[in-house]
A and B are shown apart, each in its own frame.
Chain A
Amino acid sequence: MRLELRGITKRFPGVLANDGIDLDVGEGEIHALLGENGAGKTTLMNVLFGLYHADEGRILLNDEAVTFASPRDAIEAGIGMVHQHFMLVPVFTVTENVMLGHEETGALGILDRSEARRRVDDISQRFGLHVDPDALVENLSVGAQQRVEIVKALYRDADILILDEPTAVLTPQETREMFAVMKSLVEIGKSLIFITHKLKEVLSVADRITVLRRGRVVGTTTPGEASEQKLASMMVGRDVRLQVEKGPASPAAPVLQVEDLTTLDDRGQVAVDGVSFEVRAGEVLGVAGVQGNGQTELVEALTGLRPVDAGSVRVEGRDLTDAAPRRVFLAGVGHVPEDRLRDGLVTEFSVADNLVLDTYYLSPFARGWVRDEGAVRANAEELRTAFDIRTPSVDVSAATLSGGNQQKVIVARELSRPIRLLVAAQPTRGLDVGSIAYIHERIVAARDDGTAVVLVSTELDEVLSVSDRIAVMYRGRIVAMVDPTEVTREEIGLLMAGSTTEAGA
């Protein structure tokens, strides 16, 4: 089916989310929609899927104008959407999840599971999706859950499939399998809209690429004509450096020493399983791994936010095993938390207050119990300039800042304290290309000043480009310690997926 969007405009109070967007998706085409966060990709797709109503513009399917009052209309018209956050019921089987909202019924309205099961199996086989119709969704890996979402859309006879950041949660291997599935879908004439901000993926899988910036189409191109550099410039609107510039590390004395560290996750299962490593002053240790392999718990245990079950954590010789977060902070540990909105910021508070969130009680920000507003403001103005935090004023609430600027607030706060160790978890998740480059520069600068850095990231490119050494985590263990200059993406990808090779050192 051919899809045309003509002049789609969608306004929110104070924001023009989509501004006269034109988009053509041909039959059997993978059309990548590229753009930074806030560029309007998701809004546009929500308009297409009937979740929002466009203020202006038309949607044409095979040259016929259509209007969708709800997702139900869009589904009827043959549009399917795989959301970034899956909409599955964990305790249902794959078949039940697929049927949900589209139940096959026999006489007297009784569910016809066997027919549905047969169709799920059929779809799964045809497109190489490899899902077991009888498996419970809660027992499936993230990648498999995503394939269930695709089956769900195909089960409803979708001809146009919207994939919203489908690779964000996948390993490199799973990503490749995903691309194979996408290719097999377009071969039989389905059309795919592939939303992403990963340049490499776009170039390897898309037929055409449309780049959005600030709610507008910047241009449409093809992988043959474009390069990563060109796409990044289109997304950001200016030239950006994609490669982190850094000299060789000069590691000095060990700062962080972790021995046989074991912690449990929230459900009481072992999440970090006897991990030992060391980070020296002036080096970046990257921790690579697929989300959910114990990195989150490792970071929390290092920073005092999660009880340690066994083993020890030492910073500059001081025992910080199971120390309270404040003791860890005072020992010179900076922490850029994984979830900045949950842990790193109080969004209702002003930017200035967020910049002293963990130092508010120290001089010069307080004398005894009394806060010194002047010092808090002066600090904020200084950091705003030093870290290029884009905000109309330091008095506005942190909620009004873009994700990149919110992250700069956290990074500025943590790096402006006298720290010996920086623990940065997913420091660039969801950020735009420009902010990513900036934050990487800052981390490397901190390293060059003699700070030890632990960088936890699920983005392989980030770990490879910023780290001096890489620890690969799989199921709570460090399965390999590798040198980023001597290892390929493929090798790390395999390690992340649990296969052990000789690459370990």
Chain B
Amino acid sequence: MTDEPEDRVGTEPPPEKGFIPSGEQGIWRSLLIPFLAFVTALTIGAIIIIVSDPDVLDAFGSARFFTEAGRAVADAYRGLFTGSLGSPIRIFDAVRSGDADLLVGAFRPISETVVQATPLIFAGLAVAIGFRAGLFNIGAEGQLNAGAITAAFVGFAIEGLPIAVHLPLAVIAGFVGGAVWGAIPGILKARTGAHEVIVTIMMNFIALRTLDYLLRGAVFQRPDRPDPISKMVEPSAELPGLLGSRLRIHAGIILALLAAYGVWWLLFRTTKGFELRTVGSNPDAARYAGMSVGRTYVVVMALAGGLAGLGGAGQVLGVTKFLTPGFASGIGFEAIALALLGRAHPAGVVGAAFLFGMLRAGSTQMQALTATPVDIIVVIQALIIAFIAAPALVRGLYRIRVKRELGGEIFTKGWSG
């Protein structure tokens, strides 16, 4: 039994509607819990770095312990941030000298962060739009792979088209592949009531195994290779690089940001988005208001699948240029976490995707510079999610009073469908 008044009267912040949430509470308010969750996760991560560093443990009990501990944590996090954002001094020097090699080196970390963030944005939107409609889309992983398969197929099977035709075709193929994959759980839920969590999980396995199977088949497998690897997509289907050929950042990020804006516009500015949010918040009221709950489920899942499929297309057309087993593994699952972190808001998803992109890009550098294993990043991500999913924990920790947190609600709502 919780202490709740029988009839709560008071003012709450208006529901967030702008692309950048604003109003009296402002953007800072909506960022507070995620930010504190991140800081807390880094703090606990620091403790784990300390206890997992043999040098620090050797120094335990001696005066050197604190300096050693400080060094270990500082080194690890310096690696993490310079690996994901670059070093300001190097960027400054490179820009001043104008030397191409220096510039590439200085901007590579940021480029890598963006490259990592791109598919996360797409997949995160796929999960977020599901949350908004009251659906727990665990299937971004499978939808992303389905989209990558169809995009890659169009990318290598058709030859001789100009880029202006071939590239859009391949991207659209990615969307369609993901949309079909996503629509199946939607249809099953609408028609039979099958829970989307179960079905999307199964669809993930099917997509991953289908990819494995195709990579061993004549249509996809590269003729001169014995291992499971697909043919290269045609250059006319590749997403062009944004900063030359030596940095991996590609046009997919532009598509991703457009998609985020498009999802926001759809959700908050259109009648279809109103229906979607109504179904998500209160399916009974949606039915009462004459909306078709089942059709909304199908459309939302198809759209979510399509967005994840675009993520897969971006990955294969912009980064890898070919498919391998598990070529994008984990993105769809990280997407669930970052959709929660971004509170199922498109702008929040973009922010969270960049944060996770940073962690992904920086972790390699961190491991190279220090003894800290990459796995610490997984721990930090998990901690962030734990704190986001339990905002009461963060609030208690920092003694802040927040009236209502959307994140936690979304998390629980997903299971009730």
**B278 and A357: CB pair below 8 A?**
yes
For B271, give its contact among A13, A346, A361, A392 (CB under 8 Å). A361
User: Does the CB pair B290–A43 fall under 8 Å?
Assistant: no
Interface residues of A in 327-351 (CB under 8 A from B): 328-329, 335, 337, 342-350
Say yes or no: is A399 at the interface (Cβ < 8 Å to chain B).
yes
Q: How far does the alpha carbon of A403 sit from the alpha carbon of B7 in the complex, in Å? A: 8
Check A12–B274 contact: CB distance below 8 A.
Answer: no
Q: Which residues of A contact B14 (CB under 8 A)?
A: 350, 393, 395-397
Contact check, B282 vs A15: say whether CB atoms are below 8 A apart. Answer: no
In the complex, B12 has a CB within 8 A of chain A: yes
In the complex, the chain B residue whose C-beta lies closest to that of A361 is: B271
Contact across chains for A346 and B278 when beta carbons are under 8 A apart? yes
CA distance A64 to B271 in the complex (A): 63
Are the CB atoms of B271 and A371 closer together than 8 Å?
A: yes
Roughly how many angstroms separate A51 CA and B2 CA in the complex, as a whole number? 9
Chain B residues 268 to 316 lying within 8 A of chain A, measured CB to CB, are 269-272, 274, 277-278, 281-282, 284-285, 287-291
B10 at the binding interface (Cβ < 8 Å): yes
Give the residues in chain A near B290, CB-CB below 8 Å. 324-326, 328-329, 358
Please report the C-alpha to C-alpha distance between residue A335 and residue B288 in the assembled complex, in whole angstroms.
9
Residues on the B chain within 8 Å of A297, using CB: none
Residue of B nearest to A324 (CB): B290
Is B271 a contact partner of A360 (Cβ separation < 8 A)?
Answer: yes
Once bound together, how far apart are the Cα atoms of A479 and B5, in whole Å? Answer: 42
State whether A12 and B3 are in contact (beta carbons under 8 Å apart), knowing that A344-B285, A358-B290, A400-B10 are contacts in the complex: yes
Given A325-B287, A360-B274, the answer on whether A350 and B15 have CB atoms closer than 8 Å is: yes
Contact between B10 and A15, CB atoms less than 8 A apart: yes
Whether A345 touches B11, Cβ cut-off 8 Å, given contacts A12-B3, A17-B6, A371-B270, is no
**CB <8 Å contact, B285 and A342:** yes
Please determine whether A343 and B288 come into contact, CB atoms closer than 8 angstroms: yes
- Contact A369 B270, CB 8 Å, known A337-B288, A358-B288, A358-B289: yes
On chain B, the residues within 8 Å of A370 by CB distance are 269-271
The answer for the CA separation of A347 and B1 in the assembled complex, in Å, is: 22
A123 at the interface (CB under 8 A from B): no
Q: How far is the CB of A386 from chain B (nearest CB, A)?
A: 21
A371 touches B274 (CB 8 A): yes
Q: How far does the alpha carbon of A369 sit from the alpha carbon of B1 in the complex, in Å? A: 44
Q: How many chain A residues have a CB neighbour from B under 8 Å?
A: 50
Name the residue on B nearest A337 (C-beta).
Answer: B288
Q: How far is the CB of A481 from chain B (nearest CB, A)?
A: 28
Please state if A343 and B3 are interface contacts (CB–CB under 8 Å): no
A344 to B5, CA, bound (A): 22
Say whether, besides A344-B288, A357-B278, A399 and B5 are in contact (CB < 8 Å).
no
Query: Does B401 touch A at the CB level, under 8 Å?
Result: yes
List A residues 1-24 near B (Cβ within 8 Å).
12-15, 17
Expressed in whole angstroms, the Cα–Cα distance for A443 and B4 within the complex equals 34
Task: Tell me the minimal C-beta distance from A36 to chain B in angstroms.
Answer: 9
A37 in the interface (beta carbon within 8 A): yes
* Candidates A37, A344, A399; contact of B12 at CB < 8 Å: A399
**With A360-B274, A366-B271 in contact, do A325 and B289 touch (Cβ < 8 Å)?**
yes
List residues of chain B with CB within 8 A of the CB of A38. 5-7, 9
Q: Does B8 contact A (CB under 8 A)?
A: yes
Majority SS of interface residues in chain B?
loop
Min CB distance B10 to A, Å, is: 4
* Bound Cα distance from A393 to B24, whole angstroms: 13
A257 within 8 A of B: no
B8 nearest CB neighbor, chain A only: A15
List CB contacts (< 8 Å) of B7-31 with chain A. 7-12, 14-15
User: What residue in chain A is nearest B1 (Cβ atoms)?
Assistant: A51
Considering the complex, give the chain A residue whose CB is closest to the CB of B290: A326
Report Cα–Cα, A395/B15, bound state, in Å: 8
A328, A348, A396: which has the most chain B beta carbons within 10 Å? Answer: A348
B185 to chain A, nearest CB (A): 24
Q: Name the interface residues of B246-282: CB closer than 8 Å to any CB of A.
A: 269-272, 274, 277-278, 281-282
Chain A residue contacts of B277, Cβ below 8 A:
346, 349
- Which of chain A's residues 381-404 have a Cβ closer than 8 Å to chain B? 392-393, 395-397, 399-403
Report the separation of the CA atoms of residues A252 and B271 in the bound assembly, to the nearest whole angstrom.
Answer: 38
Residues of the A chain whose Cβ atoms lie less than 8 Å from the Cβ of B271: 360-361, 366, 369-371
Say whether A353 faces chain B, with CB atoms less than 8 Å apart. Answer: yes
Contact of B285 among A12, A42, A343 (CB under 8 A): A343
Whether the Cβ atoms of A346 and B1 lie closer than 8 Å is: no
Interface pair B281/A346, CB less than 8 Å apart: yes
The complex places the Cα of A23 from the Cα of B9 at a distance, in Å, of: 25
Closest CB in chain B relative to A140 CB, distance in Å: 26
- Residue of B8, B272, B287 with highest tally of chain A CB at under 10 A: B8
A52 at the interface (CB under 8 A from B): yes
Q: Cα distance A370–B15 when bound, in Å?
A: 19
Most A Cβ at <10 Å: residue of B11, B284, B289, B403: B289
B286, closest chain A residue (CB): A346
Docked pose: A325 CA to B281 CA in angstroms: 19
What's the Cα separation between A467 and B188 when bound, in Å?
Answer: 46
The distance from the CB of B57 to the nearest CB of chain A, in whole angstroms, is: 45
A244 within 8 Å of B by Cβ?
A: no
The answer to whether B9 and A357 have CB atoms under 8 Å apart is no
A348–B15 touching, CB < 8 Å: yes
Q: A136 an interface residue at 8 Å Cβ cutoff?
A: no
Q: In whole angstroms, how far apart are the Cα atoms of A353 and B14 in the complex? A: 12
A residues within 8 A CB of B288?
Answer: 303, 305, 325, 335, 337, 343-344, 357-358
Query: What 0/1 readout, one digit per residue, does chain B (77-93) give for beta carbons within 8 Å of chain A?
Result: 00000000000000000
A402 and B289 form a contact (CB under 8 A): no
Task: Please tell me if the beta carbons of A343 and B284 are within 8 angstroms of each other in the complex.
Answer: yes
Q: For A42, list chain B residues within 8 Å (CB).
A: 6
For B3, the closest partner residue in chain A by CB is A52
Which of B11, B270, B272, B289 is close to A392, meaning CB atoms less than 8 Å apart?
B11
0/1 interface trace, chain A 15-58, chain B, CB 8 Å (1 if under) = 10100000000000000000001101011000000011000000
Cα-based distance from A283 to B12 in the complex (angstroms):
41
Query: Which B residues lie within 8 Å of A37 (CB)?
Result: 6-7
6 more contacts with CB within 8 A, not counting A342-B284, A370-B269, are: A303-B288, A342-B282, A343-B287, A345-B282, A360-B274, A397-B15
17 contacts between A and B (CB under 8 A): A43-B5, A51-B1, A326-B291, A335-B288, A342-B282, A343-B285, A348-B15, A357-B278, A366-B271, A369-B271, A371-B274, A397-B15, A399-B8, A399-B12, A400-B9, A400-B12, A401-B9
Question: Top 8 closest A-B pairs, CB basis?
Answer: A326-B290, A38-B7, A12-B5, A358-B289, A395-B14, A14-B10, A343-B288, A325-B290
